[in-house]
Amino acid sequence: MGSQVTLTTLYKMKEKGEKIVALTAYDYPFAKMVDESGVHMILVGDSVGMVVQGESSTLPVTMDEMIYHTRIVSKAAGHAMIVGDMPFMSYQASIEHAIANAGRFLKEAGAAAVKLEGGRAVSETIKAISGAGIPVQAHIGLTPQSVHQMGGYRVQRNEEQLMADALEIESAGAFSVVLEGIPSEISEKITKALAIPTIGIGAGPHCDGQILVLHDLLGLNDRHLPKFVKQYANLLDDAKTGIKQYIEEVQAGKFPAKKHCY
Ligand code: KIV
């Protein structure tokens, strides 16, 4: 599968036109599965709020929760780069607060980088965090932490604004950028304009890499899936089948059988 993925690996992949494959993970067993499958980057996303905690947005997720999830994911990773997602209000209030919180992901949780949402509005923050030696991945387009400001989870189509955001966050020192909910033609132009890798989600095929929420890809939740998701497995149904069989066997006195007894 190869050695540990670093920033150099990602830059070389962009240069050679090799696609970067990223997924989210939130705990040890799933992170191990993702890492051993050969994914290049694991994002411990604040989507944990919606996927694992049952919240209706990512806004309630706290720094301590993100540190916990990132720490248990990091233990599983031997190959993939681990990126910790900075939760809502962990980097907006002041640059000092943002640097301190970003540092916790590396110091306490074993991440190699952090991600934060926003374009030009957070470029000074990106500059300061990367200036402190912490690699920063930016995230523009549909930024879920701004759901109320965007008036819902809406595709972002303002090419001029998106390009200006992308160019400025690159100048500020971001090592990569997630493009979410952006028409393919705009993502293609941004990907060509930037030297840093673009990782798309709902942003078409021209990005340097792709990311999906793991639980969506595996069919592990029954929430409404956005158009951009492809479900590659149906683990929810498989799991329910197994659990129902267990219930039937316990009630019928078939489990535990002799071989399960001391
Ligand atoms: O929180 C998350 O999982 C994300 C990805 C969907 C990019 O930000």
By three-state DSSP, how is residue 12 classified? helix
CA of residue 241 to ligand 1 center, whole Å: 29
Give 218's pLDDT tier (boundaries 50, 70, 90): very high
The answer to whether residues 171 and 144 touch, using CB atoms and an 8 Å cutoff, is: no
DSSP string, 132-195: TT--EEEEEES-GGGHHHHTSS-----HHHHHHHHHHHHHHT-SEEEEES--HHHHHHHHHH-S
**Token digits of residue 14:** 């962009």
Per-residue confidence (pLDDT) for residue 224, from 0 to 100: 86
Residues identified as active-site: 180
Q: Which residue has the tokens 């900075």?
A: 86
Phi-psi region of 89 (alpha: psi -120 to 50; beta: other; left: phi over 0): left
What pTM value is reported for the model? 0.97
Query: Above 70 in pLDDT, residue 1?
Result: no
For residue range 134-176, what is the model confidence (pLDDT) as tens digits?
999 999 999 999 999 999 999 999 999 999 999 999 999 999 9
What is the arithmetic mean of pLDDT over 199-223? 96
By three-state DSSP, how is residue 249 classified? helix
* Listed residue (104, 92, 98) closest to 131, CA to CA: 98
Nearest residue (by CA) to ligand 1, atom 4, is 45
Nearest residue (by CA) to ligand 1, atom 5, is 45
Rounded distance between C-alpha atoms, residue 142 and residue 62, angstroms: 21
- DSSP H helical segments within the chain, as ranges? 7-16, 28-37, 48-51, 63-74, 95-107, 123-131, 147-150, 159-172, 184-193, 214-217, 235-251
List, chain by chain if needed, residues with CB within 6 Å of any ligand 1 atom: 24, 43, 45-47, 85, 139, 178, 180, 201, 211, 213
Query: Above 90 in pLDDT, residue 222?
Result: no
The answer to whether residues 23 and 42 touch, using CB atoms and an 8 Å cutoff, is: yes
The answer to whether residues 210 and 191 touch, using CB atoms and an 8 Å cutoff, is: no
What percent of the chain is modeled with pLDDT above 70?
100
Per-residue confidence (pLDDT) for residue 99, from 0 to 100: 98
Query: Above 90 in pLDDT, residue 221?
Result: no
Q: Which residues contact 55 (CB under 8 A, 6 or more apart)?
A: 49, 61
Query: Above 80 in pLDDT, residue 7?
Result: yes
CA of residue 159 to ligand 1 center, whole Å: 22
**Token digits of residue 156:** 């972002």
- DSSP, res 219: T
CA of residue 46 to ligand 1 center, whole Å: 6
- Of ligand 1's listed atoms, the one at least distance from the Cα of 178 is 7
CA of residue 244 to ligand 1 center, whole Å: 32
For residue range 18-68, what is the model confidence (pLDDT) as tens digits?
999 999 999 999 999 999 999 999 999 999 999 999 999 999 999 999 999
